Structure 1
Amino acid sequence: MSAVRVMVVDDHPMWRDGVARDLADNGFDVVATADSVASATARAGAVLPDVVLMDMNLPDGTGAQATAGVLTAHPGARVLILSASDERDDVLDAIKAGATGYLVKSAQQAELIAAVNATADGQTVFTPGLAGLVLGEYRRMSQTPQDDSPVLTARETEVLRHVAKGLSSRQIATRLEISPRTVENHVGSSLRKLQLGNRVELARYAIEHGLDE
């Protein structure tokens, strides 16, 4: 398998270069680094990373703004926040912008390496305690589905339940005894029916509608 392509976004050169070096030493292909919202957005569209490791505090904006910019430039990227902040608003803003996970910078190197691998595999990753915060917020914001809500098939709903739990297509396929391609077909069908843009929005929909229980 080819190495996971990673871009590191942080405005502190020593930290950014150190993280990039650690990732490279552990077999990742660090295809770019960036130090601002503008450079992250431009470089994501140019180098097409699999995973973007994103700081929350940048000189020309927030990590949430950079996340939105990166995903506009390269919708196939997955953004993992790596920030010194564990403030509720920062976490929720990042997830609402499309980030698939959030780690604080106190994480150990082994945790970071595992988190980048998991993010590349389509899983959601959070520093302990933050996942509950995110789930709790989306449950609080949830509303009763409208009568004209799109109807998913039983299998699409079953796949959606596993997506809400952060499982990758490969893991879902194993549990349901179907192929990963079939899982992706169901995910794609659900995205079209619900008019959603990506798996993060799909997982959010599932959480809001109680499908993660």
Structure 2
Amino acid sequence: MTDDTAPVRVMVVDDHPMWRDGVSRDLTDEGFDVVATADSVARAVEVARAVTPDVILMDMHLPDGTGTQATAGTLAVSPNSRILVLSASEERDDVLDAVKAGATGYLVKSARRTELVAAVQATAAGQTVFTPGLAGLVLGEYRRLAKEPTTEAPALTDRETEVLRWVAKGLSSKQIAERLHLSPRTVENHVGAALRKLQLGNRVELARYAMENGLS
């Protein structure tokens, strides 16, 4: 993420040119730095790798796949980016799939311009943002999952759990190190230990694990 004085760098992913250009123009007018746009899953991943935006506005239905696939793909190549879904769909599965893939917010396209601007700002600051009604849906799903019996996971140390909570909020190792008064290398060691214990492949999967287990 950028420092507090720099404009938030945004990428807009949508396959409808008029909508994509309109959103980009609105955000630019509000002081955001729209660094790139994309119209497909493949292009989104390619561009995210190159520009590493702070916030990615993500549509859920793209010509070559879903916003869920694009979310997972872009986070794999740009793990410090934060995903805010901006979609016409309010379907339960779309919302839950997006969150499980790593999205930190979900806004419907009927939102007003002021709501979109506030949502992008909040997402950049590490907050979760949902259209009213959808937040309750997500919370209800996680409560349901929490009640289901699960196999016992390998025990994490208190410090690993603490680091994991910050990973789930989208912070980089450097940012976590500053908050916990550790070196970035020590933070990376804790992340690596958690990945090994939980048999996960990357920070995106680690953040998803934290969200699904109420650690975010």
Confirm or deny a common fold (TM above 0.5): yes
Structure 1 residues 183 and 119, CA, compared in 2 at 3 Å: closer, same or farther? farther
Q: Which residue of 2 aligns with 1:55?
A: 59
Which whole-Å CA distance do the structure 1 matches of 2:90 and 2:117 have between them? 20
2:163–2:190 Cα contact (<8 Å) kept: no
Shift of 1:191: 4.0
Backbone CA RMSD of aligned residues:
3.1
Q: Percent identity?
A: 64
- SS of the counterpart of 1:31? strand
1:16-55 to structure 2, matched below 5 A, reads 16-55=20-59
Corresponding position of 2:109: 105
CA–CA distance in structure 2, aligned partners of residues 82 and 12 of structure 1: 12
Q: For residue 100 of structure 1, report the CA deviation from its aligned partner.
A: 1.2
Contact 2:58 2:84 in 1 (8 A): yes
Three-state SS of the structure 2 residue aligned to 1:6 is strand
Q: Are residues 1:180 and 2:184 paired?
A: no
1:135/1:189 Cα in 2 relative to 1: closer, same or farther (>3 Å)?
farther
> SS in structure 2 opposite 1:141?
helix
| SS of structure 2 residue aligned to 1:89 | helix
Tell me by how many angstroms 1:181 deviates.
5.2
Q: Which runs of 5+ in 1 are unaligned?
A: 174-178
User: Conserved in 2, the CA contact under 8 Å of 1:150 and 1:194?
Assistant: no
Contact 1:152 1:190 in 2 (8 A): no
Matched, 1:149 2:148: no
* Structure 2 residues without counterparts, runs of 5 or longer: none
Structure 2 match to 1:86: 90
Q: Which amino acid aligns with 1:87?
A: E
Deviation at 1:156, TM superposition (A): 6.5
Task: Give the Cα–Cα distance (whole angstroms) in 2 for the partners of residues 7 and 162 of structure 1.
Answer: 23
